[in-house]
Copies of this chain bind each other. A is one copy, B any other.
Amino acid sequence: MNEKIMASESLIIKRLFNLDSNAYVEGHLDVKSKELIGLTCSLVLRCDDCVKYHLGKCKEIGLSKEQVHEAMGVATLVGGTIVVPHLRRAFEYWEELQHV
């Protein structure tokens, strides 16, 4: 579906996608800090797909379970118990990632 979106006539969408693919590379902040930002912002905004995407990245770049749990703990405190069902799915998905 990403290809279809990139094939769209909409310039804004294409440029947003380009921006997004460059946003999490190392810069003044390292990749781990940036992925934790992506993960926790996705969690407080309660987007399961976004959380999963960033959990995959977090695993890839070597963040530990303890670090990811701690980050998600802060996000749940900020976002409230309304975040908990998403937290649950994030925990499940993180476990799945260990068996890939």
| Chain A residues close to B by CB (< 8 Å) | 1-2, 4-5, 8-13, 15-17, 19-20, 22-24, 27-29, 32-34, 36-38, 40-42, 44-47, 49-50, 64-67, 69-85, 87-88, 91-92, 95
Shortest Cβ distance from residue A40 to the other chain B in the assembled complex, whole angstroms? 5
Within the assembled complex, what's the spacing in Å between the Cα atoms of A44 and B70?
19
Chain B residue contacts of A87, Cβ below 8 A:
5, 13
Chain B residue contacts of A22, Cβ below 8 A:
11-12
Interface of A is mostly: helix
- Cβ contact within 8 Å between B81 and A1: no
Of B8, B67, B95, which is within 8 A of A69 by CB?
B8
